Amino acid sequence: MPGKTADATVARQVELAINRLDSISILPCVGARFLSELNQFQLSPQSLTELIECDPGLTAKVFSLVHKEGQNFPDNNLSIRQAIDKLPLRLIRDAFFSINVYSAFEQNKERALFRSQLVLHAIATACCARKIAETVQSGVNPYLAYLAGLLHNIGNLALDQEMPRSFTQILEEAKSQDASICDVEQKYLGIDYTTLGKRLAQKWHLPNSVTMAIWLHHSNTVTVSQNMPEAKIAQVLQLADILARQAGIGRSGSYDTAEVPEELVQSLTITSEQMDQIRENLSEQVAIKSKIAGMDLPDTATAYCNAVHLAAAQLAKDNTTLSQENRRLQTASGQFDFTADFLLSINPDNTALDIAENFAVRWQKFYQTGLVCLYLAADTTSQTLEAVVVENQSQRKTVLLNAPADSPAIPPEIANSFALLDAWGHADWLFEQLDVDFEPGKTRLVPLLSGGRTIGVLVFEFRYPTDAEKLEEKFKASALIAGSVLDMAFTAQKQQHFAEQFAQLVISSPAAAPRVSVPAPAKEPPAITEPALSAAGNMVTALAEMAAGAAHELNNPLLVISGRAQLLGQAETDPEKKRMLKQIQDNTTEITSIIDELMSFANPVPPRPAQTGINQILEEAVELASQKANVEHINTQMEFSDDLPPDVFVDSAQIVSAIANVITNSVESYTGDLGPIKITARPEQSGNFVKLQIADLGCGMDEQTLRKATYPFFSGKPAGRKRGMGLAHAARFIQLNKGMLDIASRPGGGTTVTILLPVHN
Amino acid sequence: MKDLFTTGEAADICNVSQQTIIRCFDAGKVQGFRVPGSKFRRIPRSNLIKFMKDHNIPFGNLDSGKRKVLIVDDDAEIVELLVDVLTRDGRFEIKTAASGYEAGIQTQQFRPDLILLDYMLPDVNGNVVCQTIRKNPEFEHIKIIIVSGVVKRDEINQLLKSGAEDFIKKPFNITELTDKVTTVLKMK
C-alpha cells in the first residue's frame, strides 16, 4: 500500500472497516484491574468511574450503552459517574465482557507497548485539556474537555485494531518522514484519524461537543470557532494535544514538531506561563491516572488471564447456584399450583369421597404415578371403608372395602405421624380386595393426617421409586392438605346427618306418626329428647311437644283405672265403697280433662280470622266470663274512644274466650265484694291495632306472680281452686291471632291487662 | 237366633252325617219331635245343645245367639278390661288381638260382627286395618268402632271416612262404650 496514493474508494473501504468496530479494545492492564475488582466485589461506582475514565474504549462503550438503554443525561450533568449510576451493574459487566481486550499475546511486545503509549498520550491530552479549560475560563466544560482529550485519537486506536499492518506502515512512514500522522493517513488512506474518530464518535453517541472536538482538532480551529462558538472545545483540544506532545508523554503517532500556533494562544487567551505550568504538572497527573489503569504493572497480560479465569469460575459457580435455586423455585411453584388448584376445585357440597376422588386424580397427574387408591378410615370401628381407585384420568371408581379383620386398616407406623411406607406388607388386605394390580416394589403409601390423626391412606404406584424418597417432603405437604380438607368434609357430613335426624325429631308430631315397632309390649314413655326441647326454645312449643307425647300414653292407664273402678262399682253393693269407687272414676275424668287442656293448648286450632265487631266481642266475652266465674252480673264499665275503628281482624271465638279469661281473673281478684272492672277500647298509635284495656282494683299480683302469670298451670291462688290455664290460654289465643298481651299489676293495687288486636289482615 | 233344626242342619252343625243324627234321634240320644203328619224330624235348639255337650261336640258352628266382637288393642290390661265389660254384659262372644296382623287373622277365622279397634297398634296404623277390612267384600258386614287415646278432630273425620262406624276416646265411661256397641250392632 505505501507508494500507492489513495483515492475515494480506499477511503470508503477504510471507513467501512472502521465502522464495523463494536468497540475500541482495552488494554490488558485495564482488563485485569477491572476483573480483579469485580472478583473481590470491590467495584464501587467511584473506582469504576475512575477506571473507565482512564481508558478510551471503556468510556466510549459507556456512552453507547447509555444511548442503547434509552437513558438521557440531565442537561449539564454529562459524566461517566452519572452513567454508572443510571446503568445497572450487570449491564456494565456484560458490556465489559463483550469488549475485546487488546490481545498482545500473539503480536510482538513492541506493538503492545506502542498501543499503551497511544493510550497514554490520550490520557495526557485529556488531563491537559481539562487544565486548559479550567485555566482559560473560555466557557468550555473542563470535564467535556477531558473526555475530548481522552477520545481524540480513537481513530488511530481503531486503525491499529482493525488494520494493524497498514497502520504500522503509516507509522513508519510518519517516523521516517517526520510527518504528522494525519498527513500520512490522508496520503495513503484518503482519510485521517480525526474523520474516523468523528464517525466512531457519532456511532457511539458520544456527546456532541466531544465529537466536534475530535473532528476539528487538527484543523484551523481559530477560524472555525470564530464562526461556531461551540467549537471552542476543539481549540482547547488542539492545544492540549500539542502540549502533551511537547511534554513527551506517550506517543501520538505524529513526528512533526509540536509547536503551538500563535493565534491559538491569543484566541484562547492563555499565557506562556500558564502553558508552562500545565506542561510541568502534566506528568504528575498522568502518572496518577496510569497507576489507576494499572499501566505500571508488569506482566499485565498474565494478570489479565488469571483474572479472567477467576471471573469465569465465579460466574460459573453463580450460574450453577442460580440454576439450582431456579429449579427449586419451579418445583415449589408447581407444588403451590397443585395445592391451589386442588383447594379451588372444592366446593362446600362435596362429600368426603368426592374430595378424595378429586385429590387422588390430581395426585396421579402431578406426581406422575401409576395406580392410585385412596381409602378413608376416619371411623376406626367401622367394618367397611370407602375408597376410590384411580387407574387413569378417565377411569376411576369408588368402592366399598371390608376392613381387615386381624390388623388395623391404618398401619400403626403412620397412625399419628407422617412417613412414606412401602405398601407391601402394610396393605395386603387392600390388594386382595381390589381388582386392579399394584406393582410390588413400586408401590408406596402415605397417610392423610389431620390434627395429628390419620383419617385416610393414599396408596400409589410410583414409577421412579428411587425418587420417591426425594419427594417425601412434597408428599408430606400435599398429604397434609388433603388430610385437613377431608377431615373438614367428614365433620360437615356428620353435622348434616345429625341435623337431618334432629329435624325429623322436631318436625314430626309423635301423635300422628306410627309408633316405631317395638317387640316388647313395654309401656315406657317415648323418649322426650331434651335437645329437641331446648332447641325449640319457646316454652309453649316445648310444652306442646311434651303434651302430645304424654297425653296418649296417659290415656291407656287412665282407662284401666277408670274402667276397673266402674266395673267394681257396678258389682258393689256397699254404698260407701260405691262412693269411693265413684271418686276414683271422677278423678280420672278430671285428669283426662287436664290432659285435654294440655293437648288443646299444645295444638290449638288455627285461627280463622274475619272482620268482627269489637262491641260484639266484648259483649260475648263478658257473658262468657260471668258463666265461668259463676257470677250473675259482672260490674263492667265500658269506655270506647270516638275514633275507634269498628272492626278487628281476628278469630272471634278464640278472642272472646281469651278476653273472657282475663275478665274472669279480674272478677276473681276481688276477694270480698265484686268490684268494678273497667274496659276501654281505643285505636293504637300506629293505627294498625286496637288497644283494649281491662282494669280492676282487685288484689293485684306481686312481681313473682306477675312473671309467671301466663304460664300454663300456674295459679297464684291457693292450690286446688283453679287449674291456672286461664291467662295461658288467653295469651296463646291472642298470640295466634297476631295480637299482643301485656299485664301490669301491683299487690293490693289492682291489675290492668292491655290487649292489642290487629285491625287489618 | 235359630230355635229349631232339621237333621240336616244338625248334621252340619255337629259336623257329622245326616244318617248319624237320624240314628241318634231314633236312639233317643238327641231329643226332638216329628212334624205332625210327616216323617220329618225336628230338633229344638236346647236339645241339640245338650246333645252336643253330652258328646263333647265343639260349638263352633252353632250360632250362640251372641254377637261376636273382636277386641284389638296392644295393651293387655285394656284388653282384659274390655273383655270383662263385655262378658259381664253377657250378650257377646269375644276374641282378642294384640296387633294389626293378629287382627287380620282373627277377622278371617272368627268372623266378628264388630271390631273394637285401637288406633295405635305396634305394627300398623288402625287406619290401615280399617281400610283393609273395608276393602274385602267378605267383611262387608263387619262394623268397626275406633278406640283411641289421642286422635285429633280432623283425624277422626278421616277415620269415619275410612269406614269406621264410630269413635270413642279413652278413657271412657264403660256404659258409654256398651251403648255405642249395641247401637252400632242394632241390638236393643
What the block records as the C-alpha cell of A417 is 405421624
Provide the greatest CA pair distance for chain A.
Answer: 173
| Per-residue confidence (pLDDT) for residue A74, from 0 to 100 | 62
Interchain contact, A559 vs B171, CB within 8 Å: yes
Beta bridge partners of B120: B125
Residues of B in contact with A581 (CB under 8 A): none
For chain A, which ranges sit under pLDDT 70?
Answer: 1-6, 39-43, 72-77, 102-108, 299-300, 465-469, 507-541, 543-545, 548, 716-723
In chain B, residues 154-173 whose CB comes closer than 8 Å to chain A: 155, 169-173
% of chain A residues with pLDDT over 70 = 89
Partner residue opposite A511 with nearest CB, options B124, B150, B173:
B150
Beta bridge partners of A743: A753
CB B104 within 8 A of CB B95: no
Q: Where are the beta strands (DSSP E) in B106-183?
A: 114-118, 143-148, 166-169
Residue B62 domain-assigned? no
What tens digit of pLDDT does each residue of B19-64 get? 999 999 999 999 999 999 988 999 998 899 999 999 999 887 676 6
Residues of B in contact with A555 (CB under 8 A): 148-150, 169-171
| Per-residue confidence (pLDDT) for residue A751, from 0 to 100 | 92
Residue B60 domain-assigned? no
- Pick among B170, B176, B178 to test the A interface (most A CBs inside 10 A): B170
Residues of B in contact with A572 (CB under 8 A): none
Q: How far is B136 from chain A (nearest CA, A)?
A: 24
CATH number of the domain located at residue range(s) A610-758 in this protein: 3.30.565.10
| Per-residue confidence (pLDDT) for residue A516, from 0 to 100 | 42
Q: Flag whether residue A560 sits within 8 Å of chain B, measured between CB atoms.
A: yes
Q: Verify that B110 and B171 share a domain, yes or no.
A: yes
Cβ atoms within 10 Å, residue A688: 12
Q: Verify that B97 and B168 share a domain, yes or no.
A: yes
Partner residue opposite B122 with nearest CB, options A517, A548, A589:
A517
Q: Flag whether residue A47 sits within 8 Å of chain B, measured between CB atoms.
A: no
Q: Flag whether residue A517 sits within 8 Å of chain B, measured between CB atoms.
A: yes
Residue B177 domain-assigned? yes
Interchain contact, A551 vs B150, CB within 8 Å: yes
Partner residue opposite A560 with nearest CB, options B78, B152, B155:
B78
Of all residues in chain A, the one with the smallest CA distance to B155 is: A512
Interchain contact, A552 vs B171, CB within 8 Å: no
Q: How far is A712 from chain B (nearest CA, A)?
A: 21
CA-to-CA distance for A536 and A548, rounded, in angstroms?
15
Interchain contact, A599 vs B123, CB within 8 Å: no
| Per-residue confidence (pLDDT) for residue A526, from 0 to 100 | 44
- Residue B89 sits in which domain range? 67-184
Of all residues in chain A, the one with the smallest CA distance to B175 is: A566
What tens digit of pLDDT does each residue of A207-229 get? 888 888 888 888 877 777 777 77
Q: Flag whether residue A602 sits within 8 Å of chain B, measured between CB atoms.
A: no
CB B184 within 8 A of CB B166: yes
Measured CA to CA in angstroms, residue A433 lies from A105, A392, A395, A531, B72 at distances of 79, 19, 18, 42, 53
Complex ipTM value: 0.70
Partner residue opposite B150 with nearest CB, options A523, A555, A570:
A555
| Per-residue confidence (pLDDT) for residue B98, from 0 to 100 | 93
Of all residues in chain B, the one with the smallest CA distance to A512 is: B151
Q: Verify that B166 and B100 share a domain, yes or no.
A: yes
CA-to-CA distance for B28 and B153, rounded, in angstroms?
62
Q: Flag whether residue B81 sits within 8 Å of chain A, measured between CB atoms.
A: yes
Residues of B in contact with A515 (CB under 8 A): 120, 122
Q: Flag whether residue B83 sits within 8 Å of chain A, measured between CB atoms.
A: no
Q: Flag whether residue B74 sits within 8 Å of chain A, measured between CB atoms.
A: yes
Interchain contact, A561 vs B171, CB within 8 Å: yes
Q: How far is B141 from chain A (nearest CA, A)?
A: 28
Q: Verify that B49 and B81 share a domain, yes or no.
A: no
Of all residues in chain B, the one with the smallest CA distance to A586 is: B173
Q: Flag whether residue B49 sits within 8 Å of chain A, measured between CB atoms.
A: no
Residues 6+ apart with CB under 8 A from A622: A634, A636, A660, A663
| Per-residue confidence (pLDDT) for residue B24, from 0 to 100 | 93
Q: Reading across the β-sheet that carries B67-72, which strands appear in turn?
A: B92-97, B67-72, B114-118, B143-148, B166-169
Partner residue opposite B85 with nearest CB, options A521, A563, A592:
A563
Evaluate whether the domain defined by A346-496 bears CATH number 3.30.450.40: yes
Residue B179 domain-assigned? yes
- At B68, which helix (H) or strand (E)? strand B67-72
Q: How far is B77 from chain A (nearest CA, A)?
A: 7
Of all residues in chain B, the one with the smallest CA distance to A554 is: B149
Q: How many CA atoms lie within 13 A of A663 on its CB side?
A: 33
Residues of B in contact with A560 (CB under 8 A): 75, 77-78, 81
Cβ atoms within 10 Å, residue A265: 16
Residues of A in contact with B125 (CB under 8 A): 514
CA dihedral B27, B29, B32, B37 (to 10 degrees): -10
Evaluate whether the domain defined by A8-297 bears CATH number 1.10.3210.10: yes
Residues of A in contact with B87 (CB under 8 A): none
| Per-residue confidence (pLDDT) for residue B106, from 0 to 100 | 92
Q: How many domains are contained in chain B?
A: 2
Handedness of CA A300, A305, A308, A314 (dihedral sign): negative
CA-to-CA distance for A307 and A240, rounded, in angstroms?
35
Residues of B in contact with A603 (CB under 8 A): 152
What the block records as the C-alpha cell of A27 is 488494554
Q: Verify that B75 and B36 share a domain, yes or no.
A: no
Residue B127: give its domain's CATH number. 3.40.50.2300
Measured CA to CA in angstroms, residue A587 lies from A558, A564, A717, B150 at distances of 10, 13, 21, 19
CB A374 within 8 A of CB A456: yes
How would you classify the pairing of strands B114-118 and B143-148? parallel
| Per-residue confidence (pLDDT) for residue B34, from 0 to 100 | 93
- Percentages of chain A per state (helix, strand, coil), in multiples of 5: 55, 10, 30
| Per-residue confidence (pLDDT) for residue B94, from 0 to 100 | 94
Q: Flag whether residue B174 sits within 8 Å of chain A, measured between CB atoms.
A: yes
- Pick among B74, B81, B150 to test the A interface (most A CBs inside 10 A): B150
| Per-residue confidence (pLDDT) for residue A104, from 0 to 100 | 53
What the block records as the C-alpha cell of B30 is 238327641
CA-to-CA distance for A657 and A655, rounded, in angstroms?
5
What tens digit of pLDDT does each residue of B72-97 get? 999 999 999 999 999 998 889 999 99
Residues of A in contact with B77 (CB under 8 A): 556, 560
Q: Verify that B17 and B110 share a domain, yes or no.
A: no
| Per-residue confidence (pLDDT) for residue A107, from 0 to 100 | 56
Of all residues in chain A, the one with the smallest CA distance to B153 is: A605
